[in-house]
Structure 1
Amino acid sequence: MRTLNLGILAHIDAGKTSLTERLLYAAGVIDEIGRVDDGTTQTDSLELERRRGITIKSAVVSFTLGDVTVNLLDTPGHPDFIAEVERVLGVLDGAVLVMSSVEGVQAQTRVLMRTLTRLGIPTLVFVNKVDRAGADPDRVLREVSARLTPSSVAAAAVSAPGTRRARVRAFGAADAPFRADLLDLLTERDDALLARYVDDEHGVPYEVLRGCLASQTRRGQVHPVFFGSAVTGTGIDALVDALPELLPATEGPSDGPVSGTVFKVERGPAGERIAYARLFSGTVRGRDRLVCADADGRSTEAKVTAVEVFEGGGLRRGADARAGRIARLRGLAGVRVGDRLTAAGPEPLGSGPLPPGARGHQFAPPTLETVVTPVRDRDRGALHSALTLLAEQDPLINLRQDDVRHEVSVSLYGEVQKEVIQATLAEEFGVAVTFRPSTTICRERLLGTGEAVERLDREQGRGAGPEGNPFLATVGLRVEPAPEGTGVEFRLGIELGLLPMAFIKAVEESVRETLLQGLHGWRVADGVVVLTTSAYAPRQSHAHATFDKAMSSTAGDFRQLTPLVLVAALRRAGTEVLEPVHRFRLEVPGDAFAPVWSLLTGLGARPDTPRLTDARCVLEGDVPAAGLPSLERQLPTLTGGEGVLESAFGHYRPVAGSPPSRARTDLNPLDRKGYLLRVLRRVPAGAGS
């Protein structure tokens, strides 16, 4: 049986969870449709989700349409939980992008559609809530074409929109305008179809048009638009029929090498990790041994103790998980979100087809952070343990442990995420917390190339040496700029064999850890670090064969010396601080233009040339992420509640004026004397140079 892994994506409150319920009902999986407001839906299973009426964690449900098993992934709509959406994108075969026929295209709708289009994920558009007062399907269809994708075509008509009598009729072969619209859209990308239309005096048969529509939709080239109401059920049948027809169901090679991606990790009743994985090839069975490898090359090996697959609205345990399916795997103790799964044993790591989930981040990283403080001081240990568990489920929480100030920071997308973390810690772990005001996360960029070296003084052993190097190690490093988004690359500029691999690994690990806090305390996101020089004191023993650490280099020598060398190279290269910037689109009444413009410039925004449409003004441009909350807060007052703001992360740009700094959480190698005092518990002679 073929499998369609289908994502339901939307801006918040567009009705995607209600649509999920309606699809399950139409497929016969449930006998009664749950309500978001009542907390009775199948996919919002967390108590917090039921209470707040929003989706926080992605959820999987399954149903069958003919010979196709549909694994439906319901994702959060609130932008604060965009990381959940990102993890799901890598495992999808197709998507349904939902929007309201009242609100139409919204900020998150545009962010999601741009990403789906960039990744080539086949997507159907569903305009929901045609029965709601104020529904205007024709207006929304124009917005879809103008602001989402010009490659769209209406697949149905709506009568009596905005009333409980609203009904949807799917277009077919008898609808001449629909056939003409299809022909115009499809021939733009199909020369053979255009030639047939020109040569065939009887026209192109509808069955041929429908086949071309399916082919181009499956390639992500066109986007049919459906209409309906998840509450009344009108229009749902047309969408259900379109899923297996227009989206690509897959049946991967189940006898090939195992290859899969973990997109979700949750904890079972006994605290064990349960991994949700999409399999792209191969078959996973109970008692198989799998390798879980992350993007940095770290890997663990474990035995699968239980396999569950989604089937018929529930989970079937004890089954084999074959290519194309989504499985829940138990027993993988070290697994993390984003890990790639391969079979252990003779099969080499990384064999098998590369899964789409390996494409890297598709959305911006979090741009806010906050310090989490326990209400009761005795809960500090419990807080760190609880946040560590949450970080396993959401790596972008990005814990920062400050051992100097005994504080823990977490990364955020927004204030709603902060509320959810607070409630989760209280309800699931019994830890009451407060948060400090959120601050913007900047990053640093290398301005040039810099080199530094600290040499081992073989004659003085562990003495200070001419450069004050108290470690039995020589480390020379060169740092070079790299294109944005390429990350940090560590290279060897020495011959293999000159330095034991354990020492090389210690240098690399120390380099990556040190670059999390550059000269101003922000992460150096991109760059090349080359190990240019190295030497070590070979293992030496006394006559009675006892290892003498004072005369022999250890990995610790290289690990502790590397930060001093690296920050010296960074100082010679120089870094600049970059701040996150959002791209905004703002519609305001014409008489509010002057005060809004003044606010934007005061926040450091860079608006483009304004456009006037009727009595409204459209402003687009860039605004620093730090100024966005103030813009959102003051806009209703300045525009009488008529301002409409859309924003999404755009890029990083150099900070104007004095660069902000962030307090360090490490041993601070920028302060050489203090660093050595903390590492060695003493200040060696000459160490302050």
Structure 2
Amino acid sequence: MRTLNLGILAHVDAGKTSLTERLLYAAGAIAQMGSVDGGDTQTDSLAQERRRGITIKSAVASFAIDDVTINLIDTPGHPDFIAEVERVLSVLDGAVLVVSAVEGVQAQTRVLMRALQRLAIPTLIFVNKIDRRGAQEAALLAAIGQRLTRAAVPMGAVLSLGGREAAVTPFGGDDAAFIGLLAERLADHNAAILAAYVEGGALSYRGLRKALAVQTGRAQLHPVFFGSAITGAGIAPLMAGIAELLPAARGKPEGPVSGAVFKVERGPAGEKIAFVRMFSGTLRTRDRVTFGQDGEGKVTALSVFERGGAVRAEALAAGRIGKVWGLAEVRIGDAIGEPRPGAAARHFPAPTLETLVRPLRAADKGAMLAALAQLSEQDPLIGLRQDDLRQEVFVSLYGEVQKEVIAETLAGEFGVEVAFEATTTLCIERVAGVGSAAEVLRQKPNPFLATVGLRIEPGALHSGVVFRLEVELGSIPLAFHKAVEETVHKTLAQGLYGWPVTDCVVTMTHSGYQPRQSHSHAIFDKSMSSTAGDFRNLTPLVLMAALKQAGSVVCEPMHRFELEIPGDTLGTLLPLLARLEAAPRPPLMQGAVCRLEGDIPAARVHELQQRLPGLTRGEGVLESETDHYRPVRGAPPVRRRTDLDPLDRRMYLLRLSRPDLAWIGEA
């Protein structure tokens, strides 16, 4: 049988989880459909998911359509949990993007479609809820063409729209209008069809369907299906389309082992279970495999997804998704075996919010940290930041709902009740100029047996931190080079104002060390010889001196926004946008509707969301997503440091030599 790893994506409440239930039921994988409201669906297994009626964690279920085994991955629709979607995208062969026939194309729908298009993931569009009052067909198809993709092809017509008796009639080869539209869409990427279409030649329906499958598989065309996950209307045509139009998984089972970890969970005994998509080769029980940067482990057990769920197996072959036991140090995003080129690319922006979390009981501080560390294994973008000096923990987030979920998880699963401080916006620092510094061993004021010289300068946009050598690789032992490079990356997590420094190039310009030596007839004396610790301790002082010379600019995250409002409310909205430091572009009037695009600081989006209904009679619609960073206007905000503060040389050296005095000056 062929295998298809299929993602179900949607804006929250579009009916994504209900569609998953319906597909499983229609395929015979489950005997009875659960409901989101009833809290008994197959893929929403967490107590919070059942209580809130939303998907928080991705989940995998399996079923078969004819000769195709479908591994279906249900993903969160709420934007606060976009990190879950991020990880799933890298393992998909195809996707179904669910759109509500009532609410239409929503903010998260567009974000998801753009990501699917960037990655060229073959995608079908399913318009759900045709049985609901207010459901749209023609208007929604127009909105899909305007706001999602012009390469959309409706595959059927809706009868009795907006009622429980709503049904779908699939288009066929005897429908001249459908044949004409299909040929027109296919002609954009097929010269033979274009020629026949222009010249009025005969076009066989079988040939057009074959071309439709090819172009859908290349993500050039997006068939649109209508239906209802609740009543089952239109589900049969959708399932047939999934099997016919989306491409099966590729990969050679006999090739080199290559897979990706897209989810990690804990078993009953606390053991790690990695969800792995295999792209090449075959993973077997008792195999020793490499993963991540330098991890290695022995596979103790395997299961593969089929017949509705995961079943124990001895092997996990290319194209399949399964669970892997035995890799104790594995993390989400790790490659299993050989990594795929470009696999580490990020498809959505990183979190732009941060909050301080405290245990309500002081005695729970250790338990809270251990619990958060375990949660960060399951969601690396949580981004824990620990202040060892003040024993404080910060968590990076996408939104307030995510904060509530973390608090509920800590209380419910770990017995730790916590409180959060106000959420703050995460800024970055960019290097303003060129700066350099060096300290030489055995020359004051350098107290370390190491010579380190560094130059820092601006780098390309989105390049991160690039480390280069201007000294010979053999000038110091390789371990010392690595110590400097690792410390550079660690130190730049906090710049002159305490924010992460990015998009820069750091070049090592000077190096030197004291070779291993000792007193006569004595054992090795590390006080007379350089160690990696000397380089790790000296590098922050040199790097921050160079950064201080270069200077840095604090930049805040900016959202690209799009507003759809009644035209007569534009005058009342513009003053608010000005106060929120937004930069709108010229408005576009479309009849009585006004479309307004522009940029707004991420820190001001929440207020715009709150004020919008009152200023637009409840008719305003806002879409926004992180787009870029811009220099902060006015005095740059300062983030409290959590390191030993290499900008204060005296205090830095004191804390290094006397860890018990780390609290000095912090009261």
Please give the TM-score of this superposition, normalised by the length of structure 2.
0.97
Equivalent-residue separation in structure 1 for 2:451 and 2:156 (angstroms): 72
Residue 400 (structure 2) pairs with residue 415 (structure 1): yes
Equivalent-residue separation in structure 2 for 1:200 and 1:510 (angstroms): 68
Residue aligning to 1:189 = 189
Equivalent-residue separation in structure 2 for 1:117 and 1:227 (angstroms): 21
Equivalent-residue separation in structure 1 for 2:123 and 2:272 (angstroms): 32
Equivalent residue for 1:372, pick from 331, 340, 357? 357
Matched residue type, 1:229: S
Residue 330 (structure 2) pairs with residue 335 (structure 1): yes
Equivalent-residue separation in structure 1 for 2:275 and 2:484 (angstroms): 34
Deviating more after overlay: 490-499 vs 1-10: 490-499
Per-residue deviation at 1:525? 2.1
Residue aligning to 1:162 = 162
Aligned partner of residue 109 in structure 1, secondary structure: helix
Per-residue deviation at 1:336? 0.5
Per-residue deviation at 1:491? 1.8
**For the structure 1 residues 81 and 374, does the alpha-carbon distance in structure 2 shift closer, same or farther, using more than 3 Å as the test?**
same
Residue aligning to 1:239 = 238
Residue aligning to 1:228 = 227
Matched residue type, 1:593: L
Residue aligning to 2:506 = 529
Aligned partner of residue 497 in structure 1, secondary structure: helix
Per-residue deviation at 1:359? 4.6
Equivalent-residue separation in structure 1 for 2:139 and 2:34 (angstroms): 30
What residue ranges of structure 2 are gaps of 5+ in the alignment?
660-667
Residue aligning to 2:268 = 269
Aligned partner of residue 290 in structure 1, secondary structure: strand
**2:480/2:535 contact within 8 Å kept:** yes
What residue ranges of structure 1 are gaps of 5+ in the alignment?
343-348, 458-464, 683-689
Residue aligning to 1:174 = 174
Per-residue deviation at 1:613? 2.9
Residue 626 (structure 2) pairs with residue 649 (structure 1): yes
**1:441/1:579 contact within 8 Å kept:** yes
**2:310/2:322 contact within 8 Å kept:** no
Equivalent-residue separation in structure 2 for 1:487 and 1:325 (angstroms): 34
Residue aligning to 1:299 = 294
Counterparts of 1:384-403 in structure 2, within 5 Å, are 384-403=369-388
CA RMSD of aligned residues (A): 1.3
Matched residue type, 2:390: R
Residue aligning to 2:102 = 102
Counterparts of 1:161-560 in structure 2, within 5 Å, are 161-198=161-198, 201=201, 203-293=202-292, 298-342=293-337, 354=340, 358-457=343-442, 465-466=443-444, 468-560=445-537
Equivalent residue for 1:672, pick from 632, 649, 654? 649
Matched residue type, 2:280: S
Equivalent-residue separation in structure 1 for 2:118 and 2:313 (angstroms): 38
Matched residue type, 1:455: V
**2:559/2:599 contact within 8 Å kept:** yes
Matched residue type, 1:336: R
Residue aligning to 1:120 = 120
Residue aligning to 2:664 = none
Aligned partner of residue 550 in structure 1, secondary structure: helix
**2:484/2:539 contact within 8 Å kept:** yes
Residue aligning to 1:686 = none
Aligned partner of residue 475 in structure 2, secondary structure: coil
Residue aligning to 1:460 = none
Per-residue deviation at 1:572? 1.9
**2:333/2:344 contact within 8 Å kept:** no
Deviating more after overlay: 146-155 vs 245-254: 245-254
**1:8/1:98 contact within 8 Å kept:** yes
- Identity %, equivalent residues: 61
Aligned partner of residue 473 in structure 2, secondary structure: coil
Counterparts of 1:40-79 in structure 2, within 5 Å, are 40-79=40-79
Equivalent-residue separation in structure 2 for 1:616 and 1:60 (angstroms): 41
Deviation per CA, 1:441-475, whole angstroms, max 9, x where unpaired? 01111122221101101xxxxxxx43x11111110
**1:168/1:235 contact within 8 Å kept:** yes
Equivalent-residue separation in structure 2 for 1:71 and 1:314 (angstroms): 9
Equivalent-residue separation in structure 2 for 1:167 and 1:625 (angstroms): 43
**2:86/2:348 contact within 8 Å kept:** yes
Equivalent-residue separation in structure 2 for 1:58 and 1:363 (angstroms): 16
Equivalent-residue separation in structure 1 for 2:309 and 2:187 (angstroms): 42
Equivalent-residue separation in structure 2 for 1:398 and 1:247 (angstroms): 35
**1:367/1:413 contact within 8 Å kept:** yes
Per-residue deviation at 1:642? 1.9
Matched residue type, 2:433: G
Residue aligning to 2:665 = none
Equivalent residue for 1:594, pick from 551, 571, 574? 571
Deviation per CA, 1:84-139, whole angstroms, max 9, x where unpaired? 00000000000000010000000000000011011100000000000001001211
Per-residue deviation at 1:200? 6.7
Equivalent-residue separation in structure 1 for 2:507 and 2:611 (angstroms): 49
**1:2/1:251 contact within 8 Å kept:** no
Per-residue deviation at 1:616? 3.2
Equivalent-residue separation in structure 1 for 2:218 and 2:335 (angstroms): 25
Deviation per CA, 1:261-291, whole angstroms, max 9, x where unpaired? 1111111111111101110000000000111
**1:280/1:355 contact within 8 Å kept:** no
Matched residue type, 1:93: D
Equivalent-residue separation in structure 1 for 2:626 and 2:125 (angstroms): 23
Matched residue type, 1:589: P
Deviation per CA, 1:188-230, whole angstroms, max 9, x where unpaired? 11112222345674x1010011111111000000101100000
Equivalent-residue separation in structure 2 for 1:627 and 1:252 (angstroms): 46
Please give the TM-score of this superposition, normalised by the length of structure 1.
0.94
Equivalent-residue separation in structure 2 for 1:91 and 1:527 (angstroms): 31
Aligned partner of residue 484 in structure 1, secondary structure: coil
Deviating more after overlay: 187-196 vs 322-331: 187-196
Deviation per CA, 1:343-399, whole angstroms, max 9, x where unpaired? xxxxxx65xxx266x151100000000000100011111111000000011111110
Residue aligning to 2:662 = none
Equivalent-residue separation in structure 2 for 1:17 and 1:335 (angstroms): 29
Equivalent-residue separation in structure 2 for 1:447 and 1:554 (angstroms): 33
Equivalent-residue separation in structure 2 for 1:628 and 1:579 (angstroms): 13
**1:519/1:570 contact within 8 Å kept:** yes
Aligned partner of residue 539 in structure 1, secondary structure: coil
